[in-house]
Chain A
Amino acid sequence: MNFDAVESGVYPELIYPPYKSTVKRGPTQAPLRINAAAATTTNLFASPKLILPHDMDMTAQGKGEPLGEKIVVTGRVLDEDGKPVRNSLLEVWQCNSAGRYWHKRDQHDAPLDPNFTGFGKMLTDDNGRYRFVTIKPGPYPWGNHHKAWRPAHIHFSMFGNVYAQRLVTQMYFPSDPLFEYDPIFQSIPDEAARQRLISRFSLDETVDDKMLGYEFDIVLRGRNATPMGI
């Protein structure tokens, strides 16, 4: 595949002082654009065997129903030509409805839910589509500054069809009042790029009286994918 240079402002700033831990961790030199055929033509093989029975229904992993608002999240993973990224591994993780992660270092004074860990994984289908059922995550404080609260989000980790398409990002929910105060979201200079991280409410994807639906399409870098079988 071909990887065009990313337009200025689309990626977050690597050093963005309002997000304090970027100051000493973000590289200071621009990435070096190089040709490396293996990175743009090969990738790991994600077997369907890696996906366990409840990986796509994060409300069905415990002994009982988790607390909170059950939702379904779906969308398509595409490349820059708008072509589907098929049979591609995608991981998601998130906090619970109270804003607490299943993680020993999360000290937020909010309850864990014994029926919700907040991890899922799946493969995209032949149309590049993914779909999972979960609980709407809560906002939570993170100590970066006074009254620092993260807008509710779900982490996404995507492996693409070639190695150089790897992406980790966060999906947000519409109309969150915390966007303008969140330095992680605001570290992205381009307004349109920020907006593309916000899912859309979808009545079509809403399941009867069971759960509301959200749509989130993802565009990975890369053009001119080699057609399958060639």
Chain B
Amino acid sequence: MTSKITTSQTIGPFPHEAWRWAVDMTANVESSAPKIVVKGAIFDGDGVAINDAWVETWMPDSAPVETAHAIPGYRRVPSNDEGGFSLQITLPQAATAGKPVAYVTVFARGLTKHQFTAVFLEDDAGLAQSDILNQVPQQRRDTLIAKKQADGSYLWNINMQGAQETVFFDYV
């Protein structure tokens, strides 16, 4: 029997207090594995920062090295007044070659359905062989790649619309 799916509705502007528990539980990462930070901001079609968005990540390769963590491999962060967010990511060994460092889910007021995307690192030697990136039209791949900054962190912005509209996924 095939059941008809339940559709999506926006999270609206007021999930912050209800969603905070998972923000608090996933803020401090305890792991002996190497860590990186991916920072960025989320923008609407006018380039205006979205200050009430949410970013969640699922990091299946990180989960095994975060066993001390309340929810291994998972993060939830709200965007701040400048649309900014910061993600602490553990990177076990060479597990990331050609793979996203995080599967990312985006929620916001005015977004009627959450959007799936993923973030890769520009200095990942496996990018050219990435099974996922190779399914993305070449001219749009750049929207999924975080750029290394002078301080060692990575910069990755999310654009809901425009010439640099982030590639969003629907998984098969």
| A residues at B contact (CB < 8 Å) | 2-3, 5-6, 10-14, 16, 19-29, 31-36, 38-40, 42-47, 49-50, 78-82, 91-93, 95, 101-103, 105-106, 117-119, 121, 153, 155, 157, 163-164, 166-170, 184-185, 187-188, 190, 192-194, 196-197, 217-221, 223
Contact = CB atoms under 8 A, between A and B. Distances in A.
A196 B7 contact: yes
Interface string B105-143: 101111111111010000000000001100110000000
Contacts of B160: 24-27
B11 interface: yes
B172 interface: yes
Interface in B134-172: 135-136, 160-161, 165-172
User: Which of A163, A185, A190, A196 has the most C-beta atoms of chain B within 10 angstroms of its own C-beta?
Assistant: A163
A10 B112 contact: no
Contacts of B115: 27, 31
Contacts of B17: 93, 101-103, 117, 119
Interface residues of B, number: 64
Contact of A168 (B9, B103, B110, B168): B9
A35 to B, nearest CB: 5
Nearest to A190: B7
Query: Ordered nearest first, which 10 A-B pairs have the shortest CB separation?
Result: A21-B110, A93-B18, A12-B112, A25-B110, A119-B18, A31-B170, A170-B9, A24-B45, A24-B44, A164-B171
B168 A31 contact: yes
B169 A36 contact: yes
Contacts of A101: 14, 17
